[in-house]
Protein backbone atom coordinates (compact mmCIF):
# COMPACT_ATOMS: atom_id res chain seq x y z
CA UNK A 1 0.00 0.00 0.00
CA UNK A 2 1.11 3.56 -0.66
CA UNK A 3 -0.42 6.78 0.62
CA UNK A 4 0.67 10.41 0.33
CA UNK A 5 -0.31 13.62 2.05
CA UNK A 6 1.13 17.09 1.65
CA UNK A 7 0.73 19.47 4.54
CA UNK A 8 -0.47 22.74 2.94
CA UNK A 9 2.55 25.08 2.78
CA UNK A 10 4.62 22.23 4.16
CA UNK A 11 6.13 18.93 3.14
CA UNK A 12 5.03 15.73 1.44
CA UNK A 13 4.79 12.54 3.50
CA UNK A 14 4.66 9.14 1.82
CA UNK A 15 3.87 5.94 3.68
CA UNK A 16 4.49 2.48 2.21
CA UNK A 17 3.33 -0.69 3.96
CA UNK A 18 1.58 -3.99 3.63
CA UNK A 19 -1.45 -5.25 5.53
CA UNK A 20 -1.21 -8.54 7.36
CA UNK A 21 -3.98 -10.01 9.53
CA UNK A 22 -5.72 -6.65 9.75
CA UNK A 23 -2.57 -4.88 10.88
CA UNK A 24 -0.13 -2.47 9.23
CA UNK A 25 3.21 -4.20 8.58
CA UNK A 26 6.60 -3.15 7.19
CA UNK A 27 5.69 0.53 7.52
CA UNK A 28 8.15 2.95 5.91
CA UNK A 29 7.54 6.69 6.30
CA UNK A 30 9.41 8.77 3.73
CA UNK A 31 9.34 12.22 2.18
CA UNK A 32 10.92 15.64 1.87
CA UNK A 33 10.20 16.64 5.47
CA UNK A 34 12.56 17.54 8.30
CA UNK A 35 12.68 15.63 11.56
CA UNK A 36 14.97 16.48 14.46
CA UNK A 37 16.68 14.36 15.65
CA UNK A 38 16.76 12.33 12.42
CA UNK A 39 16.96 8.97 14.22
CA UNK A 40 13.40 9.45 15.47
CA UNK A 41 12.22 8.08 12.12
CA UNK A 42 13.09 4.57 13.33
CA UNK A 43 10.77 4.92 16.35
CA UNK A 44 7.99 6.29 14.13
CA UNK A 45 8.16 3.35 11.71
CA UNK A 46 8.29 0.89 14.59
CA UNK A 47 5.33 2.52 16.35
CA UNK A 48 3.15 2.14 13.25
CA UNK A 49 4.01 -1.50 12.65
CA UNK A 50 1.34 -3.74 14.12
CA UNK A 51 -1.38 -1.10 14.49
CA UNK A 52 -4.83 -2.29 13.48
CA UNK A 53 -5.94 -0.98 10.08
CA UNK A 54 -9.17 0.18 11.73
CA UNK A 55 -7.23 2.69 13.88
CA UNK A 56 -8.44 6.29 13.42
CA UNK A 57 -6.27 9.13 12.16
CA UNK A 58 -6.27 10.76 15.60
CA UNK A 59 -5.30 7.51 17.28
CA UNK A 60 -2.42 6.88 14.86
CA UNK A 61 -1.16 10.42 15.41
CA UNK A 62 -1.35 10.03 19.19
CA UNK A 63 0.51 6.75 18.89
CA UNK A 64 3.34 8.45 16.97
CA UNK A 65 3.54 11.30 19.46
CA UNK A 66 3.70 8.86 22.37
CA UNK A 67 6.46 6.87 20.66
CA UNK A 68 8.83 9.78 19.97
CA UNK A 69 8.26 11.92 23.06
CA UNK A 70 8.09 15.68 23.31
CA UNK A 71 11.63 16.64 22.29
CA UNK A 72 11.28 15.60 18.66
CA UNK A 73 10.65 18.41 16.15
CA UNK A 74 8.45 17.72 13.12
CA UNK A 75 9.20 20.43 10.58
CA UNK A 76 6.84 20.90 7.63
CA UNK A 77 4.72 17.95 8.68
CA UNK A 78 3.19 16.37 11.79
CA UNK A 79 2.10 13.07 13.32
CA UNK A 80 -1.37 13.87 11.93
CA UNK A 81 0.07 14.23 8.40
CA UNK A 82 1.73 10.82 8.67
CA UNK A 83 -1.55 9.32 9.89
CA UNK A 84 -3.49 10.88 7.02
CA UNK A 85 -0.98 9.62 4.41
CA UNK A 86 -1.17 6.17 5.95
CA UNK A 87 -4.96 5.99 5.85
CA UNK A 88 -5.04 7.35 2.29
CA UNK A 89 -3.13 4.22 1.32
CA UNK A 90 -6.19 2.22 2.40
CA UNK A 91 -8.64 4.21 0.29
CA UNK A 92 -10.21 2.07 -2.38
CA UNK A 93 -9.46 -1.11 -0.45
CA UNK A 94 -11.67 -2.91 2.04
CA UNK B 1 22.55 26.44 24.69
CA UNK B 2 22.09 29.83 26.33
CA UNK B 3 24.98 31.63 24.66
CA UNK B 4 24.08 33.57 21.54
CA UNK B 5 26.70 34.57 18.99
CA UNK B 6 26.53 36.80 15.93
CA UNK B 7 28.10 36.43 12.47
CA UNK B 8 30.83 38.84 13.49
CA UNK B 9 31.77 36.86 16.59
CA UNK B 10 33.26 34.13 14.38
CA UNK B 11 36.21 34.05 12.01
CA UNK B 12 34.89 32.39 8.87
CA UNK B 13 36.73 30.28 6.37
CA UNK B 14 35.76 30.43 2.69
CA UNK B 15 36.21 27.27 0.63
CA UNK B 16 35.70 28.03 -3.06
CA UNK B 17 34.15 25.33 -5.23
CA UNK B 18 36.41 22.49 -6.36
CA UNK B 19 35.11 19.58 -8.45
CA UNK B 20 34.42 16.60 -6.18
CA UNK B 21 32.43 13.39 -6.26
CA UNK B 22 28.89 13.39 -4.85
CA UNK B 23 29.99 11.13 -1.95
CA UNK B 24 32.88 13.46 -1.12
CA UNK B 25 30.58 16.50 -1.05
CA UNK B 26 28.28 14.67 1.39
CA UNK B 27 31.21 13.53 3.56
CA UNK B 28 32.73 17.01 3.75
CA UNK B 29 29.48 18.32 5.22
CA UNK B 30 29.72 15.78 8.03
CA UNK B 31 33.45 16.26 8.67
CA UNK B 32 33.15 20.05 8.79
CA UNK B 33 30.06 19.88 11.05
CA UNK B 34 31.64 17.41 13.45
CA UNK B 35 34.79 19.56 13.33
CA UNK B 36 32.79 22.48 14.72
CA UNK B 37 31.69 20.33 17.64
CA UNK B 38 35.24 19.13 18.34
CA UNK B 39 36.79 22.55 17.75
CA UNK B 40 39.01 21.22 14.95
CA UNK B 41 37.33 23.13 12.13
CA UNK B 42 36.54 26.84 11.89
CA UNK B 43 33.07 28.07 10.92
CA UNK B 44 33.07 27.58 7.18
CA UNK B 45 31.26 28.74 4.05
CA UNK B 46 31.89 26.00 1.50
CA UNK B 47 30.79 26.19 -2.11
CA UNK B 48 30.15 22.77 -3.62
CA UNK B 49 31.80 21.66 -6.87
CA UNK B 50 30.87 18.61 -8.93
CA UNK B 51 32.73 16.16 -11.11
CA UNK B 52 29.47 14.71 -12.46
CA UNK B 53 25.69 15.15 -12.49
CA UNK B 54 23.79 13.61 -9.61
CA UNK B 55 20.63 13.56 -7.56
CA UNK B 56 21.06 14.17 -3.85
CA UNK B 57 18.24 12.55 -1.94
CA UNK B 58 17.04 13.93 1.37
CA UNK B 59 17.71 11.82 4.46
CA UNK B 60 14.10 10.57 4.61
CA UNK B 61 13.36 10.03 0.92
CA UNK B 62 12.88 6.64 -0.68
CA UNK B 63 14.82 5.95 -3.88
CA UNK B 64 12.00 4.39 -5.87
CA UNK B 65 9.45 6.97 -4.75
CA UNK B 66 11.67 9.85 -5.91
CA UNK B 67 13.88 8.64 -8.77
CA UNK B 68 13.16 7.34 -12.25
CA UNK B 69 16.10 4.91 -12.25
CA UNK B 70 15.93 4.21 -15.98
CA UNK B 71 16.03 7.87 -16.99
CA UNK B 72 18.74 8.60 -14.41
CA UNK B 73 20.94 5.78 -15.72
CA UNK B 74 20.37 6.81 -19.35
CA UNK B 75 21.44 10.38 -18.57
CA UNK B 76 24.39 9.19 -16.45
CA UNK B 77 23.02 10.89 -13.35
CA UNK B 78 24.36 9.27 -10.20
CA UNK B 79 22.64 9.02 -6.85
CA UNK B 80 23.71 9.94 -3.35
CA UNK B 81 21.93 10.51 -0.02
CA UNK B 82 22.68 13.41 2.31
CA UNK B 83 22.29 13.59 6.09
CA UNK B 84 19.73 16.40 6.07
CA UNK B 85 16.03 16.08 5.46
CA UNK B 86 14.19 17.90 2.70
CA UNK B 87 13.70 17.14 -0.98
CA UNK B 88 15.83 15.71 -3.76
CA UNK B 89 18.28 18.10 -5.39
CA UNK B 90 19.22 17.64 -9.04
CA UNK B 91 22.80 18.78 -9.60
CA UNK B 92 24.78 19.34 -12.77
CA UNK B 93 28.40 20.54 -12.67
CA UNK B 94 27.44 24.11 -13.53
CA UNK B 95 23.70 23.80 -12.96
CA UNK B 96 23.50 25.35 -9.54
CA UNK B 97 25.37 27.32 -6.94
CA UNK B 98 25.29 25.29 -3.75
CA UNK B 99 26.91 26.07 -0.45
CA UNK B 100 27.18 24.73 3.07
CA UNK B 101 27.47 26.73 6.24
CA UNK B 102 28.94 24.95 9.24
CA UNK B 103 28.96 26.87 12.50
CA UNK B 104 28.39 26.63 16.24
CA UNK B 105 24.69 26.32 17.03
CA UNK B 106 25.06 29.45 19.19
CA UNK B 107 24.70 31.43 15.94
CA UNK B 108 21.03 30.43 15.81
CA UNK B 109 20.40 30.23 19.57
CA UNK B 110 16.93 31.36 20.60
CA UNK B 111 15.53 31.01 17.07
CA UNK B 112 12.92 28.53 15.93
CA UNK B 113 14.07 26.19 13.17
CA UNK B 114 11.99 28.20 10.73
CA UNK B 115 13.60 31.49 11.80
CA UNK B 116 17.07 29.98 11.55
CA UNK B 117 16.52 28.90 7.93
CA UNK B 118 15.66 32.44 6.87
CA UNK B 119 18.42 33.92 9.03
CA UNK B 120 21.20 31.73 7.63
CA UNK B 121 20.21 32.52 4.02
CA UNK B 122 19.46 36.24 4.49
CA UNK B 123 22.83 37.24 2.98
CA UNK B 124 22.18 35.29 -0.22
CA UNK B 125 18.71 36.79 -0.61
CA UNK B 126 20.33 40.22 -0.22
CA UNK B 127 22.98 39.26 -2.79
CA UNK B 128 20.31 38.20 -5.26
CA UNK B 129 18.38 41.43 -4.75
CA UNK B 130 21.56 43.45 -5.33
CA UNK B 131 21.82 41.67 -8.69
CA UNK B 132 18.31 42.78 -9.55
CA UNK B 133 16.60 39.46 -8.85
CA UNK B 134 13.36 39.92 -6.90
CA UNK B 135 14.27 37.16 -4.46
CA UNK B 136 12.54 36.50 -1.18
CA UNK B 137 12.55 33.79 1.45
CA UNK B 138 9.47 31.61 1.53
CA UNK B 139 9.12 29.55 4.71
CA UNK B 140 10.09 26.98 5.45
CA UNK B 141 13.11 26.59 3.24
CA UNK B 142 12.64 28.09 -0.22
CA UNK B 143 14.19 31.04 -2.00
CA UNK B 144 11.72 32.26 -4.61
CA UNK B 145 11.18 35.01 -7.12
CA UNK B 146 8.07 36.11 -8.98
CA UNK B 147 8.89 33.58 -11.71
CA UNK B 148 9.25 30.57 -9.43
CA UNK B 149 11.47 28.75 -7.01
CA UNK B 150 15.16 29.66 -7.25
CA UNK B 151 16.51 27.55 -4.45
CA UNK B 152 16.02 25.58 -1.30
CA UNK B 153 17.81 24.82 1.94
CA UNK B 154 18.19 22.00 4.43
CA UNK B 155 19.61 21.86 7.90
CA UNK B 156 20.99 19.42 10.44
CA UNK B 157 22.06 19.95 14.03
CA UNK B 158 24.51 17.76 15.86
CA UNK B 159 26.56 18.13 19.03
CA UNK B 160 26.17 21.88 19.25
CA UNK B 161 26.90 22.50 15.58
CA UNK B 162 24.60 23.55 12.77
CA UNK B 163 24.92 22.45 9.14
CA UNK B 164 22.90 24.53 6.69
CA UNK B 165 23.16 23.95 2.96
CA UNK B 166 21.41 25.78 0.18
CA UNK B 167 21.11 25.22 -3.54
CA UNK B 168 20.47 28.11 -5.91
CA UNK B 169 19.47 26.92 -9.40
CA UNK B 170 21.59 28.63 -12.02
CA UNK B 171 21.62 26.94 -15.41
CA UNK B 172 19.74 23.85 -14.46
CA UNK B 173 18.30 21.62 -17.18
CA UNK B 174 14.82 21.55 -15.69
CA UNK B 175 13.50 19.24 -18.43
CA UNK B 176 16.08 16.60 -17.58
CA UNK B 177 15.37 17.22 -13.91
CA UNK B 178 11.68 16.47 -14.47
CA UNK B 179 12.60 13.19 -16.21
CA UNK B 180 14.92 12.01 -13.44
CA UNK B 181 12.87 13.09 -10.43
CA UNK B 182 9.38 11.75 -9.82
CA UNK B 183 7.41 14.78 -8.77
CA UNK B 184 3.80 13.80 -8.44
CA UNK B 185 0.52 15.64 -8.29
CA UNK B 186 0.32 15.52 -4.49
CA UNK B 187 3.63 17.40 -4.23
CA UNK B 188 2.26 20.20 -6.42
CA UNK B 189 -1.19 20.09 -4.83
CA UNK B 190 -0.84 23.42 -3.03
CA UNK B 191 1.39 25.14 -5.61
CA UNK B 192 -1.24 26.06 -8.19
CA UNK B 193 0.86 24.57 -11.00
CA UNK B 194 0.97 21.20 -12.65
CA UNK B 195 4.51 20.88 -13.96
CA UNK B 196 7.66 20.30 -11.93
CA UNK B 197 9.78 21.95 -14.62
CA UNK B 198 7.71 25.12 -14.34
CA UNK B 199 8.06 25.17 -10.58
CA UNK B 200 11.80 25.88 -10.72
CA UNK B 201 13.11 29.15 -12.09
CA UNK B 202 16.88 29.03 -12.57
CA UNK B 203 18.77 32.28 -12.05
CA UNK B 204 19.86 32.28 -15.68
CA UNK B 205 16.33 33.37 -16.63
CA UNK B 206 16.93 36.58 -14.72
CA UNK B 207 20.57 37.50 -15.21
CA UNK B 208 23.22 37.21 -17.92
CA UNK B 209 26.12 37.55 -15.50
CA UNK B 210 28.82 34.86 -15.78
CA UNK B 211 28.61 32.17 -13.12
CA UNK B 212 31.81 33.24 -11.31
CA UNK B 213 30.51 36.78 -11.10
CA UNK B 214 27.22 35.55 -9.64
CA UNK B 215 29.14 33.65 -6.95
CA UNK B 216 31.26 36.72 -6.24
CA UNK B 217 28.23 38.96 -5.88
CA UNK B 218 26.36 36.45 -3.74
CA UNK B 219 29.33 36.15 -1.41
CA UNK B 220 29.83 39.92 -1.06
CA UNK B 221 27.07 40.44 1.55
CA UNK B 222 28.46 37.54 3.57
CA UNK B 223 31.95 39.05 3.56
CA UNK B 224 30.60 42.37 4.81
CA UNK B 225 28.72 40.79 7.72
CA UNK B 226 31.79 39.02 9.15
CA UNK B 227 35.47 38.19 8.82
CA UNK B 228 35.73 35.79 5.85
CA UNK B 229 39.07 34.41 4.63
CA UNK B 230 40.05 32.12 1.79
CA UNK B 231 41.68 29.13 3.40
CA UNK B 232 42.02 25.66 1.89
CA UNK B 233 40.87 22.41 3.47
CA UNK B 234 43.47 20.83 5.70
CA UNK B 235 44.93 17.52 4.64
CA UNK B 236 43.44 15.72 7.62
CA UNK B 237 39.98 17.12 6.82
CA UNK B 238 40.30 15.74 3.29
CA UNK B 239 41.56 12.40 4.59
CA UNK B 240 38.67 12.09 7.06
CA UNK B 241 36.15 13.01 4.38
CA UNK B 242 37.62 10.51 1.90
CA UNK B 243 37.38 7.74 4.49
CA UNK B 244 33.78 8.68 5.33
CA UNK B 245 32.84 8.99 1.66
CA UNK B 246 34.07 5.45 1.02
CA UNK B 247 32.61 3.94 4.20
CA UNK B 248 29.18 5.60 4.10
CA UNK B 249 28.22 7.92 1.28
CA UNK B 250 29.44 5.79 -1.64
CA UNK B 251 27.82 2.68 -0.14
CA UNK B 252 24.53 1.22 -1.36
CA UNK B 253 23.63 0.54 2.28
CA UNK B 254 23.37 4.29 2.89
CA UNK B 255 22.12 5.40 -0.53
CA UNK B 256 19.36 2.78 -0.48
CA UNK B 257 18.64 3.19 3.23
CA UNK B 258 15.07 3.73 2.08
CA UNK B 259 14.83 1.70 -1.13
Residue B147 has pLDDT above 90, yes or no: no
Q: What is the pLDDT of residues B216-239, one digit of tens each?
A: 999 999 999 999 999 999 999 999
Which residues in chain B have Cβ-Cβ distances shorter than 8 Å to A31?
Answer: 60-61
User: In angstroms, rounded to a whole number, what is the distance separating the alpha carbons of residues A86 and A3?
Assistant: 5
The pLDDT value recorded for residue B184 is 72
| Residue B207 DSSP SS3 | coil
Distances (CA, A) of B149 to A26, B24, B74: 35, 27, 27
The pLDDT value recorded for residue B193 is 58
Residue B1 has pLDDT above 70, yes or no: no
User: In angstroms, rounded to a whole number, what is the distance separating the alpha carbons of residues B14 and A12?
Assistant: 34
- Confidence bin at A93 (pLDDT 50/70/90): low
The residues, ordered by sequence, that sit 6+ positions from B89 with a Cβ below 8 Å of its Cβ are B55, B56, B96, B98, B152, B167
Testing the interface with A: which of B57, B59, B60, B140 to mutate, by most A Cβ within 10 A?
A: B60
- Enter the pTM of the model: 0.94
With the CA atoms of B115, B118, B123 and B124 taken in that order, what torsion angle do they form, in degrees rounded to the nearest 10? 170
The pLDDT value recorded for residue A28 is 97
Q: What is the pLDDT of residues B166-204, one digit of tens each?
A: 999 998 898 999 999 998 767 767 776 556 666 788 898
Q: Residues in chain B whose beta carbon is closer than 8 A to a beta carbon of chain A? A: 58-62, 65, 83-88, 113-114, 139-141, 154-157, 184, 186-187, 189-190, 258
User: In angstroms, rounded to a whole number, what is the distance separating the alpha carbons of residues B85 and B113?
Assistant: 13
DSSP run (H or E) holding B165 = strand B161-169
Q: How many residues does chain B have?
A: 259
- Could B85 and A75 be called an inter-chain contact, meaning their C-beta atoms sit closer than 8 Å? yes
Tell me, letter by letter, the H, E, C secondary structure of A20-59: ECCEEEEEEEEECCEEECCCHHHHHHHHHCCCECCCCHHH
Q: What is the pLDDT of residues A11-41, one digit of tens each?
A: 999 999 999 999 999 999 999 999 999 999 9
Q: What is the pLDDT of residues B85-113, one digit of tens each?
A: 999 999 999 899 999 999 999 999 999 99
Q: What is the pLDDT of residues A41-61, one digit of tens each?
A: 999 999 999 999 999 999 999
Cross-chain CB nearest to A9 (options B83, B156, B190): B190
The residues, ordered by sequence, that sit 6+ positions from B74 with a Cβ below 8 Å of its Cβ are none
Amino acid sequence: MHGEYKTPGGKLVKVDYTVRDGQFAGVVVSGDFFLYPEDAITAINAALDGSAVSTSEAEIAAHITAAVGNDVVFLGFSPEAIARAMLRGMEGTS
Amino acid sequence: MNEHTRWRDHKWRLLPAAPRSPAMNMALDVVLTDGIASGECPPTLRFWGWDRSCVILGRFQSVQNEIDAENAAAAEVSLVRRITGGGAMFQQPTGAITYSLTAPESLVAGMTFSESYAFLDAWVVNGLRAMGVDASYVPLNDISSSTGKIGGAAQARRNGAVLHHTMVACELDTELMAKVLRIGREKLSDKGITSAAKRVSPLRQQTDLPRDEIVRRLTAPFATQCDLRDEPLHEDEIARAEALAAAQFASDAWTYLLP
